[in-house]
Structure 1
Amino acid sequence: MTRSQQVARPVAVLRGTPAVPGVAAAPAIRPGPRMPVDIRTDLVAESDRASELESLRSASDVVARRLRARAGRASGAAAEVLAANAAMAADRGWLAAAEELIAVGRPATVAAGAATDRFADMFTKLGGLMAERVTDLRDVCDRVVAELAGAPEPGIPTPAEPSILLADDLAPADTAGLDPELVVGLATSLGGPTSHTAIIARQLGIPCVVAVAGLDEIPAGADILVDGSAGTVMVAPDPDMASHAVAEYRAVTARNAAWNGPGSTADGHRVEVLANVQDGAGARAARHTQAEGIGLFRTELCFLDRESEPSIDEQTRIYGEVLDAYPDAKVVIRTLDAGSDKPLRFAQHPDEANPALGVRGIRIATRDNGILDRQLDAIAAAAAARGRVPLVMAPMIATAAEARWFATRVRARDLIPGVMIEVPAAALLAETILRDVDFLSIGTNDLTQYTMAADRMSPELATLTDPWQPAVLALVARTAAAGTALGKPVGVCGEAAADPLLACVLAGFGITSLSAAASAIAAVGATLSSVTLDDCRRAATAVLSTAAPDEARAAARSILPHV
């Protein structure tokens, strides 16, 4: 009897939001259950409370060290979010809330769960980037409770054969640990196309669909066909049809692997294809792809999970590793992008009602010039030692005055200044801002969230956080036009740059570079090489006349049918 006969389910097609392109067919697996909630009401004897408190602190320290170790073995976005989760496991506020409960007699496991519920409620009410951390917070709590109980660390089971993972959502610690040879596809009930799960899945090259309605009804063991480009999950597909779909996708993958750069359209119009990296290891890994350079070096990793600011010498070494990986190529370094869901222990963040709209990115530097100045000094030192002049850009710029203030500091160190366009106000003033800086880079993840006023983690709002939203594309087009008018480069370094079809549209807008996860480089470059600039421009014009993401995708595909 075949597996399909065992589950005996009719063919059904569930629809979600496309997150990572690709096609995979395999049996479904599901995560194991979360740690059971400890609801004991008996109180710990007063003489034993100190021991209970020590057990909690020890367990949280073990979990934090494990997550730090996994961050050290990872790279890119996976390393960043694992480091952030390690910081969460050691967070003073969460520990203090649990310790208060232990002090009045609650067992450590009960106190950990109650403190987590309190913070989860608070994060949910804050919305935005803070709401994204609820899944992470509960995952950290499960790991601490398991350590307290002497149970194995919770996580995703290792399948015995290639499988498709179905889940409500995944914590970054779980997603970052997936083996793409065994977990060949991923579908979630929650999340959006720019959630941590989707970003890490893209880095790993795992086809992914998010916000899938009805996914909870699919049992483990059912045969599944996931199409990450179309945003569909097919249950009990015809075996021949599934095999044909996978074979077609593999043929496209083989075509992509044969592409050897540099980035350009079929008629020779140059569009740089660059990599997003987090550290030296990620930059060295990118060298094994056809990435022409680094379009986004996220510098947060050396700041997160630190009690004190890293020294200039330490930062200089870290930045030097990335410059060494691409000694003769373009490297774009983003200054510290922290705050909101990535707090710095040493930055004295203010208490904010809505941190996602609060002091983050460049706004931290305006409160404490020293953090930015020391970072720029380190970048300048790393560059000078190698005879390099890297491009340096600031996150979360909202006004021309902020851009001018930043550019003055960068130029004072003989570096090339630019800024990220993540705030709609900056997109609307792109031409004014470009008069003070040498380049722009559009971060489509935050630009989408802020344009649509939609939490990236909300399944009900996943359609709004789709980078194909016409309002977002209109702001991207406006920003690109500003670059064309002034003869200055405008790139895209958000997740939109990893979508091969959207990459063609972006080129049609006049975007001069695309920076994506290393796993997406070949697909983006090969796709661009198969179309002409005129094709891209016609697709770009078509999408600006649409009113919804699905309409925008369909309009682009009608002009670029073979992409």
Structure 2
Amino acid sequence: MTQLRGVGIGLGIAQGPVARMAEPFPAPSDAPSTLDAGSETTRVRDAVAGVARELEQRGAQAGGAAQDVLEAQAMMAEDPSLETEIDARIAQGHTAEWAVHDAFASFRDTLTAMGGYLGERAADLDDVAQRVIARLRGVPAPGVPDPGHPFVLVAKDLAPADTALLDLDKVLALVTTEGGPTSHTAILAREKSIVAVVGAVDATSLVDGETVIVDAAGGLVLTEPTADELDRAHRRAADRAAAASAPVTPGALKDGTAIPLLANLGNADGAADAVALGAEGVGLFRTEFLFLSSSSAPTIAQQRASYEKLLAAFPGKKVVVRVLDAGADKPLPFLNDAHEENPALGLRGLRALRASEDILREQLTALAEADAATRANGQGADLWVMAPMVSTVEETAYFTAIAREYGVKTAGVMVEVPSSALLADRILAHADFASIGTNDLTQYTLAADRLLGSVASFQDPWHPAVLRLVREVGAAGRAHDKPVGICGEAAADPLLAVVLVGLGATSLSMAPTALADVRASLLENTLADAQRVAEAALAADDAASARAAARAALSVPATA
């Protein structure tokens, strides 16, 4: 038996035969076109439009985070700059296939050189180009294989369009050789409850048909398993399924310490499913969906309707709404679409809202009106409002003051940059609560763009530097007797969730599908256990060592 190591997503375990993702098309021939330029241009227009509509349709079918990603890809396919580049190549006598290949490759290289969010989108361009070329040739695009039986899908990485519509009756597990815990594949695997191990670089050795065990809890892919190992893996999967179907209970540690388990939501439509999966409220409601699809800010009435729907779905429960977090990967034409050399360090989050304060005030007005309306009809939730990307004490005082003007009783801040973590004791003197966004906190602490594949290995919230900052915020919360939540992807990691509680987190918010695993993990440990394992992780030198130390401290099995 050989163990291939990667980053596990969740606690699941699965077994089955490997089916590898097909390799992409080779580059088209540069032979001159036998058609006139007008005919080739028409072919391209039809193919690009067809791919864009297909991506939008897949997004509508998938919903959730997948829909946002696929709609962005559809816009990318029809980018006017790409269209111009393709037309120029066709005008030189090239075929539509070669023009698409070369124009997309040139655009990809430009984005890669720019780095940051745009650099990460370069990989999406490759997928779109392959789909357009396939449509031009009248053949299926390279994608998920169909061997005719359930299988473990192995790939370099998965394009969002493929991940969004995976047939979960056939795909037993995912294994990728690239990507990290915040990659699109990892996020969508959590959302769909797919057993997955990402970043398993040695999985390139796996071949079609061989049987493997994919152990997300251990972050392992086991090759050539024995009959006994397969049987143990089967029993673990059955036990996990039984635990998931058990009656939902509030989040708590083994000693009874309450740790509310909340949902991260991108729109109010996901509220019912979150409740069904045991969400005790909402720890992060992203309001960007109201703004991103429009060339102008939504009206107060439009916002209020969405907020009322959300609050009514959680009567009496805590609902934490993040005001608009625009900038960096989410530029808006009516807020902050000016070019920035490094947008991740530019005018984003609360900084952008202060520069266009009318948008912030309209959002707070809509939230206050929605809160009043739902309370009036007996459906009110416990509304908390927080600001994104707060980096100073002064910003904290500014936001809490303006929130109070609109009657917000509980106003807090997101801790996403090291400065706010290091000043948490002073920030919590003003804010009513803190919510740690581990995705951004990790990228800023390790100076590694969270969406850039080339530095994915650095984007790991297990890194002791990140854990130390979380400890600072936890200590400040205890000193001020104020709540400290976690709303980044780290909270969805069942083992890391225990560590975060040991560091002082008082609530955890995650994709609803991760709630069952985290709930089960917490119930196996007391607060003293959590604090002990947190200290073990803090004593490590790197993320991998911290994860291993935590597993050893809690005696979590590392193999099937």
CA–CA distance in structure 2, aligned partners of residues 151 and 367 of structure 1: 50
- One-letter code of the match for 1:378? A
User: Aligned-pair distance for 1:350?
Assistant: 2.0
User: Aligned-pair distance for 1:153?
Assistant: 4.9
What are the within-5 Å matches in structure 2 for residues 530-545 of structure 1?
530-545=524-539
The equivalent position to 2:444 in structure 1, one of 443, 450, 459, is 450
User: Alignment partner of 2:292: what SS?
Assistant: coil
User: Alignment partner of 2:4: what SS?
Assistant: strand
CA–CA distance in structure 2, aligned partners of residues 167 and 345 of structure 1: 36
The equivalent position to 1:38 in structure 2, one of 4, 12, 28, is 28
Residue 80 (structure 1) aligned with residue 68 (structure 2): yes
2:396 paired residue number: 403
The equivalent position to 1:26 in structure 2, one of 16, 25, 35, is 16
Residues 248/290 of structure 1: CA separation in 2 closer, same or farther (3 Å cut):
same
- Contact kept in structure 2, 1:294 and 1:515, CA below 8 Å: yes
User: Aligned-pair distance for 1:141?
Assistant: 2.3
2:426 paired residue number: 432
Residue 371 (structure 1) aligned with residue 366 (structure 2): no
CA–CA distance in structure 2, aligned partners of residues 256 and 545 of structure 1: 33
User: Aligned-pair distance for 1:227?
Assistant: 1.3
- Contact kept in structure 1, 2:10 and 2:517, CA below 8 Å: no
User: Aligned-pair distance for 1:469?
Assistant: 0.7
1:466 paired residue number: 460
The equivalent position to 2:511 in structure 1, one of 504, 510, 517, is 517
Q: CA RMSD in A?
A: 2.5
Which runs of 5 or more structure 2 residues have no equivalent in the other structure? none
| TM-score (structure 2 length as normaliser) | 0.91
What are the within-5 Å matches in structure 2 for residues 213-228 of structure 1?
213-228=201-216
User: Aligned-pair distance for 1:461?
Assistant: 4.2
Residues 191/330 of structure 1: CA separation in 2 closer, same or farther (3 Å cut):
same
What are the within-5 Å matches in structure 2 for residues 230-379 of structure 1?
230-258=218-246, 260-347=248-335, 349-379=337-367
- One-letter code of the match for 1:86? A
CA–CA distance in structure 2, aligned partners of residues 548 and 169 of structure 1: 24
Residues 208/103 of structure 1: CA separation in 2 closer, same or farther (3 Å cut):
same
- Contact kept in structure 2, 1:253 and 1:523, CA below 8 Å: no
User: Aligned-pair distance for 1:538?
Assistant: 1.7
Residues 259/524 of structure 1: CA separation in 2 closer, same or farther (3 Å cut):
farther
What are the Cα deviations for residues 430-450 of structure 1, in whole angstroms up to 9, with x where unaligned?
222222322111111121122
CA–CA distance in structure 2, aligned partners of residues 96 and 559 of structure 1: 58
- One-letter code of the match for 1:143? R
CA–CA distance in structure 2, aligned partners of residues 300 and 67 of structure 1: 21
What are the Cα deviations for residues 30-51 of structure 1, in whole angstroms up to 9, with x where unaligned?
2233344334342687xx5455
- One-letter code of the match for 1:31? M
The equivalent position to 1:65 in structure 2, one of 31, 53, 62, is 53
CA–CA distance in structure 1, aligned partners of residues 42 and 355 of structure 2: 37
1:168 paired residue number: 156
Residues 404/61 of structure 1: CA separation in 2 closer, same or farther (3 Å cut):
farther
What are the Cα deviations for residues 414-455 of structure 1, in whole angstroms up to 9, with x where unaligned?
223222111112211222222232211111112112211224
Residues 59/554 of structure 1: CA separation in 2 closer, same or farther (3 Å cut):
same
CA–CA distance in structure 2, aligned partners of residues 369 and 91 of structure 1: 31
What are the Cα deviations for residues 173-192 of structure 1, in whole angstroms up to 9, with x where unaligned?
21121233321211111111
User: Aligned-pair distance for 1:562?
Assistant: 5.2
User: Aligned-pair distance for 1:54?
Assistant: 4.8
The equivalent position to 2:521 in structure 1, one of 527, 547, 552, is 527
CA–CA distance in structure 2, aligned partners of residues 303 and 79 of structure 1: 15
Residues 386/103 of structure 1: CA separation in 2 closer, same or farther (3 Å cut):
farther
Residues 348/476 of structure 1: CA separation in 2 closer, same or farther (3 Å cut):
closer
1:16 paired residue number: 6
The equivalent position to 2:135 in structure 1, one of 130, 143, 147, is 147
What are the Cα deviations for residues 84-123 of structure 1, in whole angstroms up to 9, with x where unaligned?
2233233334334334444555444333322322232233
User: Aligned-pair distance for 1:216?
Assistant: 2.0
Residues 104/299 of structure 1: CA separation in 2 closer, same or farther (3 Å cut):
farther
Residues 500/306 of structure 1: CA separation in 2 closer, same or farther (3 Å cut):
same
CA–CA distance in structure 1, aligned partners of residues 101 and 369 of structure 2: 46
1:186 paired residue number: 174
The equivalent position to 1:551 in structure 2, one of 545, 551, 559, is 545
CA–CA distance in structure 2, aligned partners of residues 537 and 360 of structure 1: 35
- Contact kept in structure 1, 2:292 and 2:332, CA below 8 Å: yes
Residue 412 (structure 1) aligned with residue 405 (structure 2): yes
User: Structure 1 residue runs of 4+, over 6 Å off?
Assistant: none
| TM-score (structure 1 length as normaliser) | 0.90
What are the Cα deviations for residues 358-387 of structure 1, in whole angstroms up to 9, with x where unaligned?
333333323433433333333333323212
CA–CA distance in structure 2, aligned partners of residues 381 and 69 of structure 1: 35
- One-letter code of the match for 2:233? A
CA–CA distance in structure 1, aligned partners of residues 458 and 34 of structure 2: 48
Residues 131/250 of structure 1: CA separation in 2 closer, same or farther (3 Å cut):
farther
Which runs of 5 or more structure 1 residues have no equivalent in the other structure? 1-10
Residues 384/39 of structure 1: CA separation in 2 closer, same or farther (3 Å cut):
farther
The equivalent position to 2:369 in structure 1, one of 378, 381, 391, is 381
CA–CA distance in structure 2, aligned partners of residues 42 and 324 of structure 1: 62
CA–CA distance in structure 2, aligned partners of residues 192 and 505 of structure 1: 19
Residues 374/151 of structure 1: CA separation in 2 closer, same or farther (3 Å cut):
farther
- One-letter code of the match for 2:198? V
Residue 390 (structure 1) aligned with residue 383 (structure 2): yes
- One-letter code of the match for 1:123? L
Residues 73/104 of structure 1: CA separation in 2 closer, same or farther (3 Å cut):
same
- Contact kept in structure 2, 1:225 and 1:234, CA below 8 Å: yes
- One-letter code of the match for 1:482? A
- Contact kept in structure 2, 1:60 and 1:144, CA below 8 Å: yes
Percent identity, aligned pairs only, is: 46
- Contact kept in structure 2, 1:86 and 1:305, CA below 8 Å: no
User: Alignment partner of 1:258: what SS?
Assistant: coil
User: Aligned-pair distance for 1:194?
Assistant: 1.0
CA–CA distance in structure 1, aligned partners of residues 130 and 368 of structure 2: 43
2:122 paired residue number: 134
CA–CA distance in structure 2, aligned partners of residues 158 and 317 of structure 1: 43
User: Aligned-pair distance for 1:346?
Assistant: 4.7
1:3 paired residue number: none
- Contact kept in structure 2, 1:190 and 1:458, CA below 8 Å: no
Residues 73/399 of structure 1: CA separation in 2 closer, same or farther (3 Å cut):
farther
